[in-house]
């Protein structure tokens, strides 16, 4: 069973630093292929661990490990041994980047039937229209009624909207850089949060992975206690975007925290 | 009106989050919840599922959904060896508590006879 074994691996993700340094030295000095191979073998469990993070996306785990290994090799070739940084710290983003690119190239994120994409878009608009008209969040049958589709189709569209927006969310990160909101600033001030999450540094590290917009949505939802509709209004985005941002944000945090655990 | 019960057992693997989420969303919708509340239910159920999966020692996680006229209840349970020692203070569980506290009206996470048990309740607003 893949998840079980990968979790076990994650518990003992440690490497011999001394040996790592030695091998890098040898590989850099003499281009010794054997040294490089040993490095690849040594850090293969890091690749396996990171690949397992992507295993729920319909790609065989072996393919993911292969892709991740390419990332690892790139990292080994580019790693600057003079910098005071652990190899794992350097390699992780490279491997993850390689895996992400793989999914992007595969078009995983947009492999959604056109019919559903369109419906998802219309549901989005219907939620906004109905919320405005009724001054409350609509029910699924109300949305279905409004669009002349079944409730099942609306529910399906809710799931869809999260799948096919993966890519656009990734790119959001770059475009909303002007927004300087940072949830990190609030962590020190909020006693309530402190009571709930006492491992402040872990959470803070996890939050750094989020874009300002994601942090803001998270803050408004969980700290200010606003509903998704209220957040949508305040940020001038749709309720479904809020929903999507929240789900994605929580997933990122969860994965980060679990990783810290390991 | 008596409450309806629905049981759903899925393999303890993350890829089944969608199945659990969609089932919960459909049931919550059936109770007439708003889309805001349904999204809270989806987040909460996914969170419980993730926590259960992280602690599962057996093959499956079983959800029992109870539909009352006023509230939606979901209970996840899975055999677990790790629940006892670290459910209280590990980061993942603290984080799950934080989320559940925010999106549910009631919740509990406990160990129950070698099993990990997570229950949440969302009232219809």
Q: Do A258 and B37 touch (CB under 8 A)?
A: no
Across the beta sheet with B115-123, the strand order is: B4-11, B60-67, B71-79, B115-123, B106-111
DSSP for chain B, please give it: -PPEEEEEEEESSGGGHHHHHHHHHHHHHHTT-BHHHHHHHHHHHHHHHHHHHHH--SSEEEEEEEE-SSEEEEEEEEE-SSHHHHTTT-HHHHHHHHHHHHH-SEEEEEE-SSEEEEEEEEE--
Q: Do B92 and A258 touch (CB under 8 A)?
A: yes
Which token pair is A141? 């049958």
Check residue A104 and give its pLDDT. 63
Q: Do B34 and A137 touch (CB under 8 A)?
A: yes
Instruction: Give how far B51 is from chain A: nearest CA, Å.
Output: 10
Distance, CA of A143 to CA of A158 (rounded, Å): 11
Instruction: Give how far A231 is from chain B: nearest CA, Å.
Output: 11
Instruction: Give how far B33 is from chain A: nearest CA, Å.
Output: 6
| 3-state SS, residue A139 | strand
- Residue from B112, B79, B107, B105 nearest B93 by CA: B107
pLDDT tens by residue, A100-152? 777 766 654 445 566 777 788 888 889 888 988 998 889 999 999 999 999 98
Judge whether residue A216 has pLDDT over 80: yes
Q: Which residues does chain B have within 8 Å of residue A198's beta carbon, measured at their own beta carbons?
A: 94
pLDDT level of residue A56 (50, 70, 90 thresholds) = low
Chain A interface includes B18 (CB < 8 A): yes
Judge whether residue A189 has pLDDT over 70: no
**Minimal-distance CA residue of chain A relative to B14:** A56
Instruction: Give how far B67 is from chain A: nearest CA, Å.
Output: 17
Distance, CA of B46 to CA of A16 (rounded, Å): 37
Q: Give residues 55 to 114 of B whose Cβ lies within 8 Å of A.
A: 59, 90-92, 94-95, 97-99, 101-102
Complex ipTM tops 0.90: no
Distance, CA of A222 to CA of A237 (rounded, Å): 18
Most confident of A198-202, A234-238, B35-39, B60-64: B60-64
Q: Do B42 and A247 touch (CB under 8 A)?
A: yes
- Residue from B124, B17, B5, B13 nearest B75 by CA: B5
pLDDT level of residue B33 (50, 70, 90 thresholds) = very high
Q: Give the CA diameter of chain B.
A: 41
Instruction: Give how far B111 is from chain A: nearest CA, Å.
Output: 20
Q: Do B102 and A152 touch (CB under 8 A)?
A: no
Crossing angle between the packed helical segments A61-78 and A33-42, to the nearest 10 degrees: 130
- B26, B98, B102 ranked by CB distance to A155: nearest: B26
Check residue B2 and give its pLDDT. 73
Check residue A165 and give its pLDDT. 36
* A167 vs A131, higher pLDDT: A131
**Residue A138: enclosing H or E segment and its boundaries?**
none
pLDDT tens by residue, B84-107? 545 555 656 767 777 788 888 999
Q: Do B95 and A228 touch (CB under 8 A)?
A: no
Chain B interface includes A9 (CB < 8 A): no
* A223 vs B41, higher pLDDT: B41
Most confident of A28-32, A190-194, B72-76: B72-76
Q: Do A253 and B95 touch (CB under 8 A)?
A: yes
Check residue B83 and give its pLDDT. 64
Chain A interface includes B33 (CB < 8 A): yes
Check residue B103 and give its pLDDT. 84
| B5 contacts: CB under 8 Å, gap ≥ 6 | B64, B65, B66, B67
Strand partners, B71: B123
Q: Do A254 and B53 touch (CB under 8 A)?
A: no
Model pTM greater than 0.80? no
* A256 vs A214, higher pLDDT: A214
Q: Do B18 and A250 touch (CB under 8 A)?
A: no
Q: Do B21 and A229 touch (CB under 8 A)?
A: no
Q: Mean pLDDT over residues A153-160, rounded? A: 83
| 3-state SS, residue A50 | helix
């Amino acid at each position: 069973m893949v998840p079980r074994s990968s979790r076990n691996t994650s518990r003992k993700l440690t490497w011999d630093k001394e040996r790592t340094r030695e091998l890098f030295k040898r590989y850099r000095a003499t281009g010794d292929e054997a040294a490089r191979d040993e490095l690849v073998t040594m850090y293969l469990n890091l690749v396996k661990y990171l690949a397992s993070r992507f295993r729920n996306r319909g790609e065989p785990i072996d393919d993911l490990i292969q892709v991740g290994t390419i990332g690892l090799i790139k990292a080994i070739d580019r790693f600057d041994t003079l910098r005071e940084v652990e190899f794992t710290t350097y390699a992780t983003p490279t491997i993850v980047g390689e895996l992400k690119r793989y999914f992007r190239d595969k078009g995983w994120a947009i492999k959604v039937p056109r019919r559903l994409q369109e419906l998802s878009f219309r549901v989005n608009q219907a939620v906004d229209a109905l919320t405005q008209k009724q001054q409350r969040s609509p029910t699924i049958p109300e949305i279905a009624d409004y669009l002349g589709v079944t409730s099942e189709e609306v529910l399906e569209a809710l799931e869809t909207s999260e799948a096919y927006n993966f890519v656009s969310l990734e790119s959001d990160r770059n475009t909303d850089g002007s927004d300087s909101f940072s949830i990190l600033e609030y962590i020190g001030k909020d006693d309530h949060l402190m009571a709930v999450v006492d491992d402040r540094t872990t959470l803070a590290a996890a939050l750094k992975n989020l874009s300002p917009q994601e942090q803001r949505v998270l803050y408004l939802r969980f700290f200010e206690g606003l509903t998704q509709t209220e957040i949508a209004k305040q940020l001038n985005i749709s309720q479904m975007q809020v929903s999507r941002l929240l789900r994605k944000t929580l997933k990122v945090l969860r994965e980060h925290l679990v990783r810290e655990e390991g | 009106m008596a409450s309806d019960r629905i049981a759903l057992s899925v393999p303890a693997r993350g890829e089944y989050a969608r199945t659990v989420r969609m089932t919960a969303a459909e049931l919550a919708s059936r109770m007439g919840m708003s889309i805001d509340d349904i999204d809270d239910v989806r987040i909460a159920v996914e969170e419980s599922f993730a926590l259960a999966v992280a602690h599962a020692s057996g093959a499956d996680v079983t959800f029992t959904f109870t539909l009352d006229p006023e509230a939606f209840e979901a209970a996840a349970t899975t055999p677990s060896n790790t629940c006892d020692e670290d459910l209280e203070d590990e980061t993942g569980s603290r984080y799950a508590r934080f989320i559940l506290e925010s999106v549910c009206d009631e919740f509990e996470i406990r160990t129950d006879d070698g099993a990990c048990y997570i229950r949440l309740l969302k009232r219809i607003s």
